Structure 1
């Protein structure tokens, strides 16, 4: 499959679609190595990752579910259940974090963009081998410093859920690029 085909075929595969087949630690290490080669302005390499496996996934679900109930005036039972169950369904979860350059030598958005490119590298690697993944960024990520330690200037941008799946992922369409492009000559 060419890189263009891989990009076009990449899809979000959600935790509810995952099966019980485990994700190997070696595969996650390969994903992280691919992430490490993302472009980075001024070589700040702002991406940071925390890999949750085994019982830690369940603990994340408990934390998110409890925090949601504590902070929401009218918590919805369906969301409580989803926050609790999705981490358990995943083969692994990678917390996506960004370490801000302490000298602030470049705009923060560039470091967020570099981190997003690192995640795209992981996503493309998963798509190439047929492993499902999904980037979730719930509002509760602002409380992640209560769940795991974050360095000064580090913040959590979301969770990269990973899991094997069996079902067919539907094709998607996009608006033509011509509707989004202006050529200036």
Structure 2
């Protein structure tokens, strides 16, 4: 189902987790459209810091293995969870595609790093809203494992991973409800 009302798209945006995905693949054309929309995020001084690495097929399986093995390597025995280990691998397996969300720091550091992180997050929000409009499930995860992605990906100088954007189709009949407290609780008006 494609939504066209921006108000509905924003209010219906939800995290749809890999365990909820079905076996219908997300098309390469749709992923290209997502990335094109991400490219139109606000960017101070046009640094355009967002970088994406699309992981599909066998590469996705290799990433799942890398992440679950890295979890095993960095987790003390007393804290190790077989459930979490399996979930890490299964999340990769269940996703139709994964996009590594990366940020390229401006080499001249003309703006604060937080602005480039925020800009990258806005690029992801553009992708998330497009997924919501098209009924495609997605989820942004930033596990501690992102600190080890330099062992999996080739990064440019100043580039780092901020998380993974999981993609998958899901059965639209699922009731995806979210709650927000009133905005009045979070707003102060000064006259």
TM-score category of the 2 structures, normalised to the smaller one: over 0.9
Using the alignment, how far apart are the partners of 2:36 and 2:154 within structure 1?
22
CA contact (8 A) 1:51 1:93 kept: yes
Partner of 2:40: 37
Partner of 1:142: 147
Partner of 2:54: 51
Structure 1: 4+ residue segments shifted above 3 A: none
CA contact (8 A) 1:13 1:169 kept: no
Partner of 2:188: 182
Partner of 2:135: 130
Per-residue deviation at 1:170? 2.5
Partner of 1:159: 164
TM-score for the superposition, normalised by structure 1: 0.98
CA contact (8 A) 1:20 1:164 kept: yes
Using the alignment, how far apart are the partners of 2:116 and 2:168 within structure 1?
27
**Structure 1 unpaired stretches of 5+:** none
Give the RMSD, CA atoms, in angstroms.
0.8
Using the alignment, how far apart are the partners of 1:35 and 1:150 within structure 2?
20
The answer as to 2:176 corresponding to 1:170 is yes
Corresponding residue pairs, total: 185
TM-score for the superposition, normalised by structure 2: 0.95
Partner of 2:115: 110
